[in-house]
Amino acid sequence: MLKKRSIFTLLSAFILTGCAENLKPVGCWEDQFQAVYRFKPQGVVTKKLHGELRPSYRGNWEMIDSNQLVLQFSDQAPEKYTIVSVTQNQMTIKLNGIKEFSWPKTSCM
């Protein structure tokens, strides 16, 4: 009985760790206002507004509790999102736990 419980615990931890890893937003995503966010694995994020040639904002991002995304740009208060899902082509997020948005994956140009 103890062996089955240990295997179940290890399997559960493996699955939860794998799911948390999948929710990381690394790559480029276009928000509902056509701004492009570029998330680098090192925790750096840039934001390029629609129509601009270069990113306007640079800051940091971090994941808290495996699905809470916090963006901190140098001249703004932290932005907090809940990541609902991340697929190869789309990230679904909630702002303030209420409004849900889908951000398509886009080119990092």
pLDDT for the residue numbered 10: 39
The residue among 84, 89, 87 whose CA lies nearest residue 99 is 84
pTM, 2 dp: 0.76
Taking the domains of the chain in order of start, what are their residue ranges?
Answer: 24-104
Distance CA(73)–CA(45), nearest Å, equals 8
Query: Which CATH code for domain 24-104?
Result: 2.40.128.370
- What are the two backbone dihedrals, phi and then psi, of residue 90, each rounded to the nearest 5 degrees? -155, 145
Q: Choose between 15 and 49: higher pLDDT.
A: 49
Q: Choose between 104 and 21: higher pLDDT.
A: 104
Distance CA(66)–CA(57), nearest Å, equals 25
- Region 47-61: what's the mean pLDDT? 92
DSSP state of 45: E
